[in-house]
Amino acid sequence: MNTITKLFPAIAVLLSLIVIAMPLLPKHEQGAYDLDTLASLPVSAGGRTKPLDTVARNSLMIVSDRQTVTIDGKRQPAIRWMIDVMARPQAANTYDVFRIDYPDVRSLVGAVEGKQKRFSFAHLQRFGQELNEQFQRVDKIPTKVRTLYQKHLMELSGHVRTYFMLMERETPYAIPPLAEGEQWRPLVAEIHTPHEGHETHAEPSQAAKRFDNILTAYQDQNPDRFNQAVSEYATMLDQQIPDITRKARFEVFFNKLQPFYQGTVLYVLAFLLSCASLLTAGFKGSVMSRTLGRAAVGVLAVTFILNTFGLSARVYMQGYAPVTNLYSSAVFIGWFCVAMGLFLEWLFKNGLGAALSAMIGCVTLIIAHNLADGDTMQMMQAVLDSNFWLSTHVITVTIGYSATFLAGFIGIAYILMGVYTRGLTPDRHKTLGKMMYGVIAFALLFSFVGTVLGGIWADQSWGRFWGWDPKENGAVLIVLMNALILHARWGGMVKTRGVAVLAVFGNIITAWSWFGTNMLGVGLHSYGFMDSALMWMLVFVVIQLAIMTAGLIPISRWQSTPQ
């Protein structure tokens, strides 16, 4: 028993490392075609250079909401689907990849209610005339006044457009700038296939010819010629644009590793281990509780390192600071909360820091996954294209978000443990109070400094320091909320319970500043209108209000009575 107890944390860490390594193992049969080398070829799409693998994954994710496709009963990678679309559309058109969720839109293509949700391009073509008429009619309606049915219809229109541009080889821009003054160009600009009825007025470049040889060999189903063409083209690019090809291969590795998806799984494991440790802590001298706690911290540390690598990799590939859009902000907030949670765990060694940070890390990565719409490293908006301010103002404000959220979740733990369990012992009451106080003070510092830096950036960009923009209002409300909590505590108006209730309200204000601006769709800071998250935002607010209400229940009715 002692041996198992000693080895269990190491076993948990080893299991975590196995989970991380599993995506790097071959998932699909290699077959006769060298799709791995093809996947690493650099192209340009969405304003940045990336490997074909990324274009294929993002395109399939947009169209099908998944990164694999079933062909002849076997799961195949996105790159296989993409090469079929570009070189053998007669085959690709039969794959069921177009996901349609809205029932009324499915009915337009003859779907039986509750049955099929994915359809092939060939199937959609049978209803092409009616769909085109619907697309054209809805396209004339302003976006903000469209019904849910119309929004889903235009979503399908965008998916068809994405597929069609791949099939016509209009995207990605596959021909690299190998000579001075050249730009990335689409293959269709230089190589016209006979069925398009175009005439070629200029001699195709050497890169265009070699890329076309790859597609032709695949179309002819000649794997030997295909592999040779891919190898020759990759070698040419290695010699002429080595920095670009090296970064493209690294991105393929990043795509396979999927650090944030794996991180979600491992955060769940760390959270479960932490909860098990807390549940067994009531037994005096419980060896099991300490063992589970060490295992939780070990798994959490491994996951933190994995996510640190993921963030660093994005900085390397994108060339910008780690926070550039809503997706990356969610990843960063979770990452920093875990960093603070590990510090709190090292400081207090009570299991709560590990449990709360693991939960926040998992939730934020789930949010990030749902925010991902195609490429998450898309071209920057002009006003945001400043690495200095992204590295100062944006990072500082996001750290303020992270700390405010962590304080709020510590407050949630305090209230739920106190009201519904007997786990809020005097020691935990005192410890949680210290944790909240320290984190809120930290949050106030960074949210204040970040807001001031934002004003300086606004003055440089727009000629005014402050304009009562919704995002600016949200930022100052976070500062005021954290200041209010500290002053209420210093003035004796609230004690630990009051601080906890106010900290939970801080979650609402921070969530509004983080997402609310984008839901309003107005203001200089609204860089990506989104209304799909409105319901989840309201659900989150209602839950926070319910927890605050529970915290206001007289202490005499709490299961635990803090001293």
Q: Give CA–CA dist 294/9, Å, rounded.
A: 6
pTM: 0.89
For residues 172 and 269, give the distance between their C-alpha atoms in angstroms, rounded to a whole number: 39
The answer on pLDDT for 22 being more than 50 is yes
Per-residue confidence (pLDDT) for residue 459, from 0 to 100: 83
State percent of the chain over pLDDT 70: 90
- Residue 165: CB atoms within 10 A of its CB come to 17
pLDDT in tens, 304-314: 999 999 999 99
How many whole angstroms separate alpha carbon 411 and alpha carbon 404? 11
In angstroms, how far apart are the furthest CA atoms of the chain?
A: 87
- Angle of the 148-167 helix axis to the 52-64 helix axis, nearest 10: 150
Q: Which one, of 515, 498, 518, lies nearest residue 562 by Cα? A: 498
Amino acid letter, residue 190: E
* Spatial distance between the Cα atoms of 313 and 254, rounded to a whole number of angstroms: 8
Torsion of CA 230, 233, 235, 237, to 10 degrees: -130
397 pLDDT band (50/70/90 cuts)?
A: very high
Instruction: Report the chain's terminal Cα–Cα distance, integer Å.
Output: 38
Average pLDDT over residues 39-61: 94
Q: Where are the domains of the chain?
A: 33-192+203-244, 258-339+349-374, 382-563
Residue 543 has pLDDT above 90, yes or no: yes
Query: Distance (Å, rounded) from C-alpha 233 to C-alpha 240?
Result: 11
- Determine contact, residues 279/288, Cβ cutoff 8 Å: no
Average pLDDT value over all residues in the chain = 88
Reply yes or no on whether the pLDDT at 404 is more than 60: yes
Query: pLDDT tens digits for 430-468?
Result: 999 999 999 999 999 999 999 999 889 888 877 888 878
* b/e sequence 343-364, b meaning 16+ C-beta within 10 Å: ebbeebebbbbbbbbbbbbbbb
**pLDDT value at position 27?**
62
Phi then psi dihedrals of residue 71, to 5 deg: -125, 120
Element (H, E) at 45: strand 42-45
Q: What is the dihedral of CA 383, 388, 393, 397, to 10 degrees?
A: 100
Beta bridge partners of 44: 49, 173
Residue-level pLDDT at 316: 94
Three-state SS string across 452-492, please?
A: HHHHHHHHHHHCCCCCCCHHHHHHHHHHHHHHHHHHHHHCC
User: Rounded distance, CA 11 to CA 213, Å?
Assistant: 50
E strands present in 226-381 = none
In the predicted structure, residue 206 carries a pLDDT above the cut 80: yes
Q: Is the pLDDT of residue 196 over 50?
A: no
Q: What is the pLDDT of residue 485?
A: 97
